[in-house]
Structure 1
Amino acid sequence: MTAVRPASAGTLTYETLLARARGGELGPHPAGLRVAVAFTTRQAVRHDGRGTGYRNEVLGLRVGAAVGSCAVEPGATADGVVEECAGAEVERLLDHPLEPVRVAALDAYLMHVAPHTPAHGARPVRVPAGTSLEKSRARARAVVGLLHLPPGATVLVVGVVNSLLEALRARRLAYVPCDFKGGVTEWGEAVAGDALAGAHRCDALLVSGMTLGNGTFEPLRRHALEHGKQLVMFAQSGSAVLPRLLGHGVSAVCAEPYPFFWLDGGPSTLHLYQGGVR
């Protein structure tokens, strides 16, 4: 099992990263940058051959060539929020009262400053063209490949995606599925609602970036750091934010900026990070 750096006085958190961005410590001052386009992307999914489906909604903010994203609960983003964000200074949105807006603004800012390229520590992985299920499975294999665990280990999965569970099963890894929505997995397994409680009985954590937007990320990061567990993030939300936390509780990131694999049947790219970000 890969060791995770112990906690130290210099440990970064999401909030300290946000504060540094507000102060212009990570690049150009955000007061000088504006959001050109704000939008939401909504989807409902039911793959052929699968008995269950799900819905997603993602807030997107464009700064220059970069799009920052944060998942929200379906129907939670009022049209007024999108209109408010369009044309706004990034500095103001980093202080917005809604957490998903702050996450999307930070994500756009950091991707503008340091896009997903090998020069910034990313390893690109191509997802071949295919059906929605084929692409979902290809992504899942890339994400699960970031875990360094022996067969029989148990993984907490926060943000249940059946393709990820399928890939863990193929690796002979046990898992504890967790999601706010509850319910059951494709295999009839109960989905827990309390991620932190489940983390204590798991060897590693596989966590969606949408935890940034609903306030559940930091407790999981601290748990991983304090207990020396791997924390692998699969990130459409905050894809440029989470690589900054490598070595500060996060051990690896599968970063997937907008447009996401499910928006198109053609090839798409994932960006894998392990170790520090330059």
Structure 2
Amino acid sequence: MTATTGMSWTPTFETFESYGELVARVRAGELGPDPATQRIAVAFTTRQAVRHDGRGSGYRNEVLSLRLGGAVGSCAVEPGALPDGAIDDCVGADVAQLLEHPLLPVRVAALDAYLMHVTAHTPRNGARPVPLPAGTSLEKSRARAKAVVELLDLPAGATVLVVGVVNSLLEALRSRGLSYVPCDLKGGLTEWGETVATDAAAEAGRCDALLVSGMTLGNGTFEPLRQHALTHGRQLVMFAQTGSAVLPRFLGHGVSAVCAEPYPFFWLDGGAGDVHCYGGPCPEGGR
């Protein structure tokens, strides 16, 4: 079902009321070529450890990526959680097979690759490119954070649930006078010593909007957050390296805006690049 209300963005592709409905339609070959005819040529993982200058703590990332034609679909996983054999399962397999794979991150990466293949992030498809300047990893992180946070339409003093803690995003929220509740399954502390909650559902009710990582697709926590936003009329802005082509398909059905960032991600290259925004206010510098 195509969404037509609640957005300044006009969809140029079909959007859906649930993740299950989207997957079923892809399996049926209703959004593009039969997924049984689309084979994954390359599968790879990207592992990263980072500690930005001036920051007191670091973190690690691990991402599974699948290449279909000229498209790359990705799903982040907890470092070390992906079995070694997962890549071997993917290479040469068709998308229909991988949409049935026992590992959710494999299914998400395959879906992302397929949707990227049929609906790339282009202005023709409704994406607004926002340039990220060349620079250090921290400079690029802050530039991306600014683009993401500008998709929130909130007055100063509002409270945002941030699911998937990125210190640059918290910094950008602070600069706008927005309060936040940091939440991540790993828990811990933010750069400023704030306790990170681990139960997003328990915190969502006291927040005015949700700012959520695409990684929630890969760990199965996306749909409850989308349902909460839809039921309670809250903005849900997604920042998506995982599922960058998947999440725009829920605009108008709980998701209000998406900052889509397909592979290669900002942290892999010091050169200039783009993120692609859907819905929400137009970020400063967007084209």
TM-score range, shorter chain: over 0.9
Deviation track 1:9-67 (CA, whole Å, cap 9, x = no partner) reads x9611111111111101111101100000000000110000001111100000000000
C-alpha contact (below 8 Å) 2:64/2:109 kept by paired residues:
yes
Matched AA of 1:107: D
Aligned to 2:230, the other structure's residue is in SS state helix
Deviation track 1:129-172 (CA, whole Å, cap 9, x = no partner) reads 00000000000000000000000000000000000000000000
In structure 1, which of residues 94, 110, 114 is the aligned counterpart of residue 115 of structure 2? 110
In structure 2, list runs of 5 or more residues that go unmatched.
8-14, 281-287
1:54 and 2:59 are equivalent in the alignment: yes
In structure 1, which of residues 44, 64, 81 is the aligned counterpart of residue 86 of structure 2? 81
Aligned partners of 1:263 and 1:14: how far apart in 2?
29
Matched AA of 2:123: P
Matching residue of 1:161: 166
Aligned to 1:175, the other structure's residue is in SS state strand
Aligned partners of 1:262 and 1:81: how far apart in 2?
24
Equivalent residues in 2 for 1:223-242 (5 A)?
A: 223-242=228-247
In structure 1, which of residues 173, 190, 193 is the aligned counterpart of residue 178 of structure 2? 173
Aligned to 2:224, the other structure's residue is in SS state helix
C-alpha contact (below 8 Å) 1:135/1:262 kept by paired residues:
yes
Aligned to 2:212, the other structure's residue is in SS state strand
Matching residue of 2:271: 266
Matched AA of 1:56: N
C-alpha contact (below 8 Å) 2:52/2:58 kept by paired residues:
yes
Aligned partners of 2:95 and 2:146: how far apart in 1?
35
C-alpha contact (below 8 Å) 1:154/1:176 kept by paired residues:
yes
Give the TM-score normalised by the residue count of structure 1: 0.95
Aligned partners of 1:264 and 1:11: how far apart in 2?
33
In structure 1, which of residues 122, 135, 142 is the aligned counterpart of residue 127 of structure 2? 122
Matching residue of 1:36: 41
1:134 and 2:144 are equivalent in the alignment: no
C-alpha contact (below 8 Å) 1:4/1:229 kept by paired residues:
no
1:195 and 2:200 are equivalent in the alignment: yes
In structure 1, which of residues 141, 144, 152 is the aligned counterpart of residue 149 of structure 2? 144
1:254 and 2:259 are equivalent in the alignment: yes
Aligned partners of 2:164 and 2:17: how far apart in 1?
23
Aligned partners of 2:127 and 2:6: how far apart in 1?
19
Aligned partners of 2:167 and 2:262: how far apart in 1?
21
In structure 1, list runs of 5 or more residues that go unmatched.
none
Aligned partners of 1:119 and 1:26: how far apart in 2?
17
Q: Report the Cα offset of residue 4 of structure 1.
A: 5.0
Matching residue of 1:71: 76
Runs of 4+ with >6 A deviation: none
Aligned partners of 1:103 and 1:12: how far apart in 2?
17
Q: Report the Cα offset of residue 76 of structure 1.
A: 1.2
Aligned partners of 1:4 and 1:234: how far apart in 2?
19
Q: Percent same amino acid at aligned positions? A: 77
Deviation track 1:163-189 (CA, whole Å, cap 9, x = no partner) reads 000000000000000001100000000
Aligned to 1:75, the other structure's residue is in SS state coil
Aligned partners of 2:196 and 2:83: how far apart in 1?
29
Matching residue of 2:216: 211
Work out the number of aligned pairs and report it: 269
C-alpha contact (below 8 Å) 2:16/2:22 kept by paired residues:
no
Aligned partners of 2:111 and 2:21: how far apart in 1?
12
Matched AA of 1:116: H
Aligned partners of 1:98 and 1:79: how far apart in 2?
12
C-alpha contact (below 8 Å) 2:99/2:111 kept by paired residues:
yes
